[in-house]
Structure 1
Amino acid sequence: MANANTSKIRALSGGAVQPEPSTTSVVRAIDVGFGLVKASVRAGAGIAFINFPSMAIPSDASAVRSLGTRRRDTFDVPVNGANYEVGRDVGLAQAGGSFGRDVTDEFYRGAIYEALTKGALRYMAEAGDSVVDVLVLGLPVNQYNDAKRRDYLRSRYEGEVDIGDERKINVRRVIVQAQPMGGYAALGEHLEELNRVIIGTGGALPPLPSADGLDELSVLMIDPGEHTLDWLLIQQGTINPRASGAASDAGRHRVVRSVQESLAAHIGRPLGPAVMPRINEALRQRTPVKLAGVAHALERFEPEIMSVIEDSINRMVDGLRDAHEIVDLIVLVGGHPERYRDVLARRFPAIPVFIMPEPMSANVRGFQLIGEALAEG
């Protein structure tokens, strides 16, 4: 079978995500972002998609951790002889400057990434999987382009993986994808919503009669992640590597950092790294952020936010090398795409700009489709 990155993904990955595929292979997917980990897990006779924060805190072995009215939803997983706490409730383990994140370009090799991946595997094991036949992992575009990084992930996570508490999971095959490719693979599932955006734009692109029409287009996939802004130009189902890339420090982290600095100046005291998740969540929900018992509205910082996003889009357009002239459709994935859509729609008013439904999980849903197709092949 041809590589999934150079073949027509639509032909590989049609069908719904939720039911288990007819193949007997167990296919699972993990998308480790700088902000959230997304993963597919067994759910009865089907598949569910879960997420938890991309935070790994050195484990607290004291009895204090067990105090409370309920057990927090986390696991201790081993990395390089140390244990890290990861999972949905990991924020309860955070204190002071213990941010528990890694937003460097070497993220994929670090202890935080390994702990988060093992945490996702642990959730799979808790759901009933002791063996995963095909595991699809994602990398930001700039990291995916380095074959050594893809090889590292395959070698690190194929085989028997220790996921803590004397439990192991056997991963038979690892496939590595560029993160926005997942969103592209799932795009055909949302043709009705996409056509509404195409009609509303009023540009040269007519509504698509079927998902097969996507493979005749030049589609610009954009993933404004926590640390990087990734983009893939996909022409007739194939990645154009010369016009695809990523901009470091051009994602959510830069926006949050800008707001944190402005908020600190506004209230007159420094704010540490533990405040960043609160600001991040407040921006996602468009609600005030509560600090030291005071609610601070963030709307006043909208000009700073839009300035950061416009700069990131400018860096992407430069990286496209004039290929934006041939783009038929722009598709956004990721957990916070609305402001990016607004900037892109102003910049390219005749090109439809489509936000994938449930954009936060779009990549991992597509990874699941790709893995199922390759398993069946």
Structure 2
Amino acid sequence: MELIVRAVDVGSGNTKLVTGVAGADIRCASFPSVAYPSSGETPQWPASERRKTFCIPVGPLFYEVGPDVGLAADTFRAKQLHDEYTESPEYMALLRGALSMMKVPHIDLLIVGLPVALFTLKKAALEKAMVGSHQVGGGKTVTVAKAMAVAQPQGALVHYAAEHQKIESIGTEQSLVIDPGSRTFDWLVTRGMRLVQKQSHSINRGMSDVLRLLAAEVSKDLGTPYRDYDAIDLALRTGKAPVIFQKPYDMKRHLPLAESVAQQAVSTMRQWIETPESLQNIILVGGGAFLFKKAVKAAFPKHRIHEVKEPMFANVRGFQLAGQNYAASTMAPGRDRGAGEAA
């Protein structure tokens, strides 16, 4: 029997997961990292308003999570913007929501991600918490036999190497992977695939800081509180003006302020990089890549900045590849790595 390998990356903005593998095609999905608590398993909504969410039991409560969670009645959106979020019931609810979407009852190896700054601190505890039987709602369970935690940008490096047929050559190269996410701005310096710990780190300076800063500016401009972070995020990504009080609002005037957050984060990272001239690969991934690109190019003007398709899924695709390789070489000795679906 083929080993079932799956990957999930519970970020503070979005939860990304692998739903299946067909040859070299790694299929991914995502949903907002928002979990609404309730005391009962069945959400109270009319049949005409069915939405794609799951009610996940964690402790004494149930948490509604999933792609349509934004339609939930509660408008308060608590974000897990702290270093203990991997130990919170919301994290477990999001993780189990991802397991539910994978539609497999058993996983032989589950790969999960951690911010660089938390990797050595949280790795062992997170791996332990992932192993065992997980209730995913509706009386269903998913069992996980083994789990491995990976530094989030390390997944992106594996994905980049596979996408550009550099799996062999990258083993002798120095690389910098930059991953601006929702809560954290992560970077990873590697020699081959090995982490250079003293030059790798993460800081709490991600897209959520940008969105809060711009919301405050819009609020001052309008003279009334404005907190539609999703609308601001969409405006930044598409260049289209959000509609506020029935009128298009010119968000472009605030773009320099947004870019200043990116500049601060990149400037901090730059101080950790001891020999930038020795870097052979600089790879930019993550959901905030589009906004941080300008600052990264300014910080490394003599380098080519590499990007990947669908940067939001770069980490989780790399997790999957790393998991498949580990399973093929360690969990099933003598098995052909390229045979069948390793997930």
TM-score, scaled to structure 2: 0.90
Residues 199-278 of structure 1: pairs in structure 2 closer than 5 A: 211-248=167-204, 250-272=205-227, 275-278=228-231
Aligned to 1:13: none
Does structure 1 conserve the Cα–Cα contact (< 8 Å) formed by 2:39 and 2:61? no
* Pairing 1:313–2:266 present: yes
Distance 2:39 2:71 in 1: 12
* Pairing 1:374–2:326 present: yes
Distance 2:174 2:46 in 1: 55
SS in 1 for 2:44: helix
1:203-236 CA distances to partner (integer Å, 9 max, x unpaired)? xxxxxxx542222221100100111110110113
Gaps of 5+ in 1: 1-22, 193-209
Q: Of 241, 249, 252, which aligns to 1:288? A: 241
Classify 1:44/1:310 alpha carbon distance in 2 versus 1 (closer, same or farther; 3 Å). closer
Amino acid at match of 1:331: I
Does structure 1 conserve the Cα–Cα contact (< 8 Å) formed by 2:182 and 2:288? no
Does structure 2 conserve the Cα–Cα contact (< 8 Å) formed by 1:341 and 1:355? no
Distance apart, 1:41 and its partner CA: 1.4
Distance 1:64 1:234 in 2: 46
Classify 1:243/1:68 alpha carbon distance in 2 versus 1 (closer, same or farther; 3 Å). same
Distance apart, 1:132 and its partner CA: 0.3
Distance 1:116 1:105 in 2: 16
SS in 2 for 1:150: helix
Classify 1:288/1:355 alpha carbon distance in 2 versus 1 (closer, same or farther; 3 Å). same
Classify 1:174/1:152 alpha carbon distance in 2 versus 1 (closer, same or farther; 3 Å). same
Amino acid at match of 2:192: Q
Gaps of 5+ in 2: 330-343
Residues 79-118 of structure 1: pairs in structure 2 closer than 5 A: 79-93=58-72, 95-96=74-75, 98-118=76-96
Distance 2:267 2:77 in 1: 30
1:273-304 CA distances to partner (integer Å, 9 max, x unpaired)? xx223322332233222344333231111110
1:176-202 CA distances to partner (integer Å, 9 max, x unpaired)? 00000101011123328xxxxxxxxxx
* RMSD, aligned CA: 2.1
Amino acid at match of 1:219: S
Aligned to 2:3: 25
1:16-75 CA distances to partner (integer Å, 9 max, x unpaired)? xxxxxxx70000000111111100113789752100001111238599832263410000
Percent identity between matched residues is 30
Aligned to 2:338: none
SS in 2 for 1:116: helix
SS in 2 for 1:145: helix
1:132-155 CA distances to partner (integer Å, 9 max, x unpaired)? 000000000011121xx1121112
Aligned to 1:134: 109
Distance 1:241 1:215 in 2: 17
Aligned to 2:29: 50
Q: Which runs of 4+ in 1 moved over 6 A?
A: 43-46
Distance 1:244 1:135 in 2: 24
Q: Which piece of structure 1 moves more, 355-364 or 292-301? A: 292-301
Aligned to 1:175: 148
TM-score, scaled to structure 1: 0.82
Does structure 1 conserve the Cα–Cα contact (< 8 Å) formed by 2:41 and 2:62? no
Classify 1:60/1:72 alpha carbon distance in 2 versus 1 (closer, same or farther; 3 Å). farther
